[in-house]
Amino acid sequence: MKPPIRVLHFADVHVGMANFGKTDPQHGISSRIVDFLARLDDMIDFAEAREVDLVVFAGDAFRTRSPNPTIQREFAERVLRLSQLAPTLLLAGNHDLPLNAAKASSIEIFDTLALAGIWVAQDYETRRIGTRRGDIVLGAAPYPMRARLLAHEDMRGLTIAEQDEALKLALIEQLTALAQQAQTLANDDAPKLLAGHFSLEGAMWGSERGVMLGRDVAVGLDCIADAGWDYVALGHIHQHQNLTHGQADWPPVVYSGSIERIDFGEEGAAKGFCWVELRRGRADWQFVQLNARKLLTIEVDCRDSLDPTQSVLAALEAQELRDAVLRLHIALTPESETLLNEGQIHRALRRSGLFHMAGLRKDIERSTRARLGKSAEELSPLQLLARYFESRDVDASRRDELLTLAEDIMRRR
């Protein structure tokens, strides 16, 4: 029996995300961007130690479609290192592709330079790739951009829903063609792997909704799960998940998830990549968790406390704060607020080895809530913003994220 082909599957690197950081003097970029690069380095070390045969990057290299040169350089160094280990697929995601199909993508430079061992997949295509442990048939399904898939279709007069349906049908047609091409190329015992950057119906979304570029369509799981692939390596959705878990007749259809936490919506989410040992008809795989930056929310109710400062300090001491990003929410009454010593709390935080303070929010309970709603003069800017979000029925978790960002902006002014 042939040895399995060892595949590294990762996605949604989003180099350039800089939430909750400051400039790193050594690199000249945000310390949070350094986090994302460190996760890449850890992953590459893992793949090198285990003699990777094929690298599949399932899309979204950068935060924006036009990354700055420093960030491009840092990502390129790591791509070159990967390509020296094994053949490397760079699949175009929605954050990589420009809206104008005539413009270059953020990863197209690797194709222009014709670097050995790197395939930049911006079109729907299937290839047979040679690796040190045998050939593999690899299908590439980049993000379905309207300007590309529907370039020759007349969309005039169609509703948005009708345009979305046309895009969905065009994507299904492309996926069907890829499966047919793979069947022809895998005429022996070569395993077949599909790499895609798109949404599947039934997948669980994460914080990518807040940074998504473009309008999304989703296709049904059956259009790829029963198409004869041995493993389906997906990007685009940041939450790691296997959509065919427990279904023995279908191959693993896996979103590897993003490699680093973006915001507090991912506070408890595991981040990492997938390691796959692939044979024809069998995929043994595992999710490898990376040491992503810890995001931590601490809520302290001091409304009935006689010493709110000590109550907060005790709550802080109960948590491991070193190298964490923290947001602190303190519930107070007007009386307990006067007893709170914020200076003492900030000094304790500085001693804790905290990586970044994302925000300290005081929620003050008023005795007459109706008066609060009428008298804007009594409210701080942050409280006014919170009232606005409440009036607009913004979801509570999303409201907390927005208030944390607003507080950070106000602090920098």
The rounded distance, in Å, linking the Cα atoms of 341 and 79 is 49
The rounded distance, in Å, linking the Cα atoms of 278 and 296 is 37
User: Measured between alpha carbons, how far apart are the two ends of the chain, in Å?
Assistant: 65
Residue 412 pLDDT more than 80?
Answer: no
Residue 378, Cβ density class (10 Å: 0-12 exposed, 13-18 middle, ≥19 buried): exposed
* Confidence (pLDDT) at 110: 85
**pLDDT band, residue 377 (cuts 50/70/90):** low
* Confidence (pLDDT) at 405: 80
Q: What is the mean pLDDT of residues 257-274?
A: 93
Give the chain's length: 413
**pLDDT band, residue 146 (cuts 50/70/90):** confident
**pLDDT band, residue 368 (cuts 50/70/90):** very low
Between residues 96 and 214, which one has the greater pLDDT?
96
Q: What is the mean pLDDT of residues 277-297?
A: 95
Residue 154 pLDDT more than 80?
Answer: no
The rounded distance, in Å, linking the Cα atoms of 368 and 384 is 16
Q: What is the mean pLDDT of residues 397-403?
A: 78
Angle at 44 between CA 40 and CA 46, to 5 degrees: 120
* Confidence (pLDDT) at 65: 82
